[in-house]
Amino acid sequence: MTKIDPSEPITKALEKSALTAATKLQGARDNISAVILGQDRVVDLTIAAVLSGGHALLVGVPGLAKTLLVETLGTVLGLDEKRVQFTPDLMPADIIGSEVLEEGAKGKRSFRFIPGPVFCQLLMADEINRASPRTQSALLQAMQERFVTVAGVRHDLPAPFHVLATQNPIEQEGTYPLPEAQLDRFLFQINVDFPTLDTEREILLATTGANLATAKAAITAKQLMDMQKLVRKLPVGEKVLEGILTLVRNARPDQSAMESVRQNVSWGPGPRAGQALMLTARAKALMDGRLSPSIDDVLDLAEPVLQHRMALNFAARADGVTIAETINALKDSIR
């Protein structure tokens, strides 16, 4: 018999909750896809990241509806959404907020905290790599701990809290590459590619007319948090668990059983990669109306989970080796 982890059994209540959640999630996907045309893969990965309780990094050239996707997602999922345009002169206080000195009755002065845009449920960090490391580190605490500290005082962020950041892979002048510690906080790196010919024709017709498609709320924030708890209750079979462990450990040059990884990879993913695969594979199963993830879910999510958590050495890059090729070889090791 297949061993299950966690030990929570599949009860009638769990099965009913999963079926209800899958129906609502399908409605949300349809709602978003009506506005974001031809990006079903991107939409599904973004929803999976939020459903898993994490953050996502959207990488693509300008004009591929990354900003519109985040705005639409906030509307459909019933989340309070805010946007910050990252620039080199952006300061930490511009994101997390600051204290101001106020004069009250009888000339008494006191400090009052004014929350920044990070105090929302869905934060769009537009062109995140344009901000200085100092500002990025302020966002790092919010992403990981779900609170910020100002003048030694802790301020909790609203629940749920998610960051969807965008990055332009072409224009790198005047940017600050995200440190590995911050990249590791993103569950997914989602590559947003150019649309196909038929999709681009549909986009031109749909977005230049008088009647533009608009998104409608399909899920409330409370329902989303209930679904996030449900994701963690879905059982994971032993084969899937072993597949995740093999995949992640083979991606590390000092632990890998694969000669190509030992030769080409300078550093590999930490335990957060395995955690991300466990959670997002469950989320994908729930979105598809299944009660448990399969090894195919792990294979499907391997690239968005691993590609920003690995780096090739100079010799591999000089030989034309790519991260995508390396991940495909890793996937072959668990098929």
The torsion region of residue 268 among left (phi > 0), alpha (psi -120 to 50) and beta comes to beta
The domain spans of the chain are: 10-83+120-128+139-147+155-233, 234-335
pLDDT at residue 330, rounded to an integer: 93
Measured CA to CA, the distance from residue 147 to residue 314 in angstroms comes to: 38
Asked if 137 and 90 touch (Cβ cutoff 8 Å), the reply is no
Task: Write the CB contacts of 149 (distance below 8 Å, at least 6 apart in sequence).
Answer: 141, 155
Tens digit of pLDDT per residue, the chain (335 long)? 334 444 456 788 888 888 999 999 999 999 998 888 888 899 999 999 999 999 999 998 888 888 888 899 999 999 999 999 988 888 888 898 888 887 776 777 878 888 889 999 999 999 888 888 888 888 888 888 888 888 888 889 999 999 999 988 876 666 777 878 888 899 999 999 888 899 889 888 888 877 877 888 899 999 999 999 999 999 999 999 999 999 999 999 999 989 999 999 998 999 999 999 999 999 999 999 999 999 999 999 999 999 999 999 999 999 999 999 999 999 998 88
Verify cis geometry, omega within 30 degrees of 0, for the bond prior to 160: yes
Asked if 155 and 115 touch (Cβ cutoff 8 Å), the reply is yes
Structure tokens at 181: 């510690």
pLDDT tens per residue, range 144-167: 888 888 888 888 999 999 999 998
CATH 3.40.50.300 corresponds to the domain 10-83+120-128+139-147+155-233: yes
pLDDT at residue 1, rounded to an integer: 34
In eight-state DSSP terms, residue 310 is -
Structure tokens at 177: 């590459």
CATH 1.10.8.80 corresponds to the domain 234-335: yes
Alpha helices for the chain (secondary structure H): 12-35, 40-51, 66-76, 92-96, 133-145, 180-183, 197-207, 221-233, 238-250, 259-264, 271-287, 295-306, 314-318, 323-332
Dihedral sign computed on CA atoms, order 180, 182, 183, 187: positive
pTM for the structure as a whole: 0.89
Measured CA to CA, the distance from residue 18 to residue 286 in angstroms comes to: 6
In eight-state DSSP terms, residue 146 is S
- For 81-131, the three-class secondary structure string (H helix, E strand, C coil) is EEEEECCCCCCHHHHHEEEEEEECHHHCEEEEEEECCCCCCEEEEECHHHC
Measured CA to CA, the distance from residue 327 to residue 306 in angstroms comes to: 8
Q: Decide whether 10-83+120-128+139-147+155-233 matches 234-335 in CATH topology.
A: no
